[in-house]
Amino acid sequence: MAKKYILLKQLSIASNLLDFVNNELLPGTGVTKENFWKGLDKCAHELVPINRKLLEFRENLQKKIDIWHRDKKGEKIDIEEYLNFLINIGYLKKEGKKFQIETKNVDSEISTIAGPQLVVPVMNARYALNAANARWGSLYNALYGTDVIPEADGASRGDKYNPNRGQKVIEYARNVLDANVPLQNGSWKDISEIPKVENGKLNLKLKNPKQFVGYIKNSNNLYSLLFINNKLHIDVRFDPDGTLEIFNPDGNQDKASIHDVILESAITTIVDHEDSIAAVDAADKVHGYRNWLGLMKGDLKYEGEKNTGNKPFNFIRKLNPDREYISPNGNKIKLHGRALMLNRNVGHLMTNPSILLKDGSEIPEGLLDAFITTAAAIHDFKNKKNSRTNSVYIVKPKMHGPDEAAFTDLIFEKVENVLGLKKYTIKIGIMDEERRTTVNLKECIRTVKNRVVFINTGFLDRTGDEMHTSMESGPMIKKGDMKSSKWISAYENNNVDVGLACGFSGIAQIGKGMWAAPDKMADMVNQKINHPKSGANCAWVPSPTAATLHALHYHQINVFSKQKELKNRTPAKLMDILTIPIADRPNWSMEEITKELENNAQGILGYVVRWIDQGVGCSKVPDINNIGLMEDRATLRISSQHIANWLHHGICSKEQVLKTMKKMAKIVDKQNDRDPALKGYASYNRMSDNYEKSIAFKAACELIFHGRYQPSGYTEPILHLNRLLKKI
């Protein structure tokens, strides 16, 4: 049996990780295994002391803030005094001179195209492939299969194709074409036959003829018309032979034989090694790294089985090729077939036992991620199917302030040196999801001004950090009231204001957060247009279907024009960002308190039991009303910190919380007993059968009862420890 660890230089490396790096990752990169391990060894031992000091500084700041709030207990917070205090302790940095970012070699998907951004867990190869391929999506399928088309008036979805529903899909799609590729006269609804392209001329008279950019034709049969709007493509597909069954298995009911409208959808995809996965040891890390390597090499595949009626069949999923068309002047056009992929590494806090340092301590997980995910991306430099500029895009989460951003810059420079890459090959995405980063955002950007390509707001983690940072200030408002609090709108606006002031427009992405309800697509279509309206040139979606529907918003809004308008508005106020969302003389009834506790407890348990028992880091978890919501560690951080805060300030008791947790565990058990998403895993372990022996239940309780003492309120330390216990 192979040794668990193999000593190499000053590193003890898990044998499965060593084998993966030496035999799968490095061959073909031009990086020798000797140089890789020597470089990682040297960098790890140089950088770990810096990493530890930064984390100690985080903790020291938090202690000082806790003491300040305790000393002011019962007093109304004087915002000026609070501001000066934060400056004096080094939490708030002095803002420097104006500057513009100087990032070079940025792919157009990031710099000049605005559109949806999909986030996908790296551990699931099928989902990762779907996400990469979500660059193009069927509008017909997205409409037919979701609640965007109401089921009233005989338009139910059902098990078989419904022509009534299909007709509503066709009408909706024709309205989309009218809105985004308008004709000079009349409507797309009036077209009753397949258009013609003769000598590069389209017989449809468009209001803007330049929108027609390509077609696919075989002999005299037209199969596709390609249009462009706001730099996003729309592919209108025809079925001249009446044989296609992609949308309507009963025959083509469209009078012009349009069988689908394909939208350019997920322009970028974040392949996630962080909040949406459960990776606690070398086996988990290798699994994720191998999937990322397959995406970069272009050879990742997934084989599975589908059931259509009573006919199961096997299928193979792989990366889509580029798309080819003929331009009006007769030239060949090739369009990218898949989303530009970024990789979200782990932050600075967590370590991983896959490598032990000379003192026996675990390697910082984010450092390991940087080396391996970058090395994997070198494979793409040859075929350029991901980055056409030979750039590596790494999203870095959970950084606290400029010093930690500068440390990330140092890590990336070290990685570039070891792997023989040009300086600034690695680009950085800054997750503006921690309070100290928000209030110092401009200075964070300054430290990485030559490699930054992305900032975004993460409402969920940002709320968790807001609650933990101000834990001692008083009881927080209800979780549902957070979105309407003063600090939230100021925070969201500040991210855009700072990004525009630093010259992001036309170079880098300004992003907004996730739509967390994948079954509520009608609500998303109505509400998420506010993200491009806010000046964000990307926003997160949970699925390829959501990406296709959210793409409609970027046809309606020219984000880069919107950004020019917003440059002139009054910037968000720092004082508003620092307004703490504590309840003013809380007088909630016991019924209100119970309802809030149950809602939080159900969310915690629903997510934790899957994380601990099945190793599922992100899934659609039923909420207290049985509505499926996408849950990850960010939502868990909010819920656990919220109860911990109310517990600390006497809004509820420990006995009350424990009673609520046991009650909600029974409900979660019932929900999971009938959840088909868990059928592929080992039999579900009910928490309520034995609370004392359920590792998942105990972990969920620890997140609440020890929540005040967790670093920045993060859930990872408790989750990782208990997942490792479960795997023993």
In contact, 404 and 682? CB cutoff 8 Å: no
**In the predicted model, is pLDDT for residue 696 greater than 60?**
yes
How many Å separate Cα 577 from the centre of its chain? 24
pLDDT tens, residue by residue, 50-73: 999 999 999 999 999 999 999 999
**Partners of 539 in beta bridges:** 116, 512
pLDDT tens, residue by residue, 173-223: 999 999 999 999 999 999 999 999 999 999 999 999 999 999 999 888 999
In contact, 479 and 600? CB cutoff 8 Å: yes
pLDDT tens, residue by residue, 273-314: 999 999 999 999 999 999 999 999 999 999 987 766 566 778
In contact, 211 and 228? CB cutoff 8 Å: yes
Mode of pairing for the β-strands spanning 340-344 and 392-396 = parallel
260, 465, 632, 675: the catalytic one is 632
Two structure tokens written together for 16: 């499965």
pLDDT computed for residue 681 by the predictor: 56
- Mean pLDDT for 104-129 is 98
In contact, 492 and 457? CB cutoff 8 Å: yes
CB atoms within 10 A of CB 410: 15
Apex 548 CA angle, 312 and 455, nearest 5: 125
Where along the chain do the CATH 2.170.170.11 domains lie? 138-264
Alpha carbon distance, N-terminus to C-terminus of the chain? 18
632 is catalytic: yes
How many Å separate Cα 39 from the centre of its chain? 31
**In the predicted model, is pLDDT for residue 1 greater than 50?**
no
Query: CA 329 to CA 344: how far, in whole Å?
Result: 41
Length of the chain: 728
**In the predicted model, is pLDDT for residue 166 greater than 70?**
yes
* pLDDT class of 2 with cuts at 50, 70, 90: very low
**Partners of 364 in beta bridges:** 351
Q: By CB neighbour count within 10 A (0-12 exposed, 13-18 middle, 19+ buried), where does 320 fall?
A: middle
**In the predicted model, is pLDDT for residue 246 greater than 70?**
no
Place of tokens 């997942």: 723
What topology is assigned to 93-135+268-322+337-577 in CATH? TIM Barrel (3.20.20)
Two structure tokens written together for 213: 């950019």
pLDDT computed for residue 68 by the predictor: 98
**Partners of 621 in beta bridges:** 629
237, 323, 344, 446: the catalytic one is 344
Q: Over pLDDT 70: what percentage of the chain? A: 96
Query: CA 265 to CA 133: how far, in whole Å?
Result: 10
DSSP 8-state code for residue 25: I
DSSP 8-state code for residue 507: T
Two structure tokens written together for 332: 């060949």
* pLDDT class of 584 with cuts at 50, 70, 90: confident
**In the predicted model, is pLDDT for residue 250 greater than 60?**
no
CATH class of 590-727: mainly alpha
Query: CA 344 to CA 272: how far, in whole Å?
Result: 5
CA gyration radius for the chain? 26
Query: CA 258 to CA 236: how far, in whole Å?
Result: 7
Q: Is 451 or 244 the better-scoring residue by pLDDT?
A: 451
In contact, 66 and 72? CB cutoff 8 Å: no
Q: What is the largest CA-CA distance in the chain?
A: 82
**CATH code for the domain defined by 138-264:** 2.170.170.11
**Beta carbons within 8 Å of 571's beta carbon, 6+ residues apart:** 493, 494, 497, 498, 501
**Beta carbons within 8 Å of 555's beta carbon, 6+ residues apart:** 176, 179, 180, 229, 230, 232, 234
pLDDT computed for residue 190 by the predictor: 95
Query: CA 295 to CA 434: how far, in whole Å?
Result: 30
Two structure tokens written together for 152: 């009233």
In contact, 258 and 204? CB cutoff 8 Å: no
Q: For residue 213, which of 196, 238, 233 has the smallest C-alpha distance? A: 233
Where along the chain do the CATH 3.20.20.360 domains lie? 93-135+268-322+337-577
In contact, 192 and 255? CB cutoff 8 Å: yes
Where along the chain do the CATH 1.20.1220.12 domains lie? 590-727
Place of tokens 């000079």: 184
pLDDT computed for residue 459 by the predictor: 86
| Residue 355 main-chain phi, psi, to 5 deg | -140, 135
Query: CA 24 to CA 543: how far, in whole Å?
Result: 30
Q: For residue 324, which of 335, 313, 310, 316 has the smallest C-alpha distance? A: 335
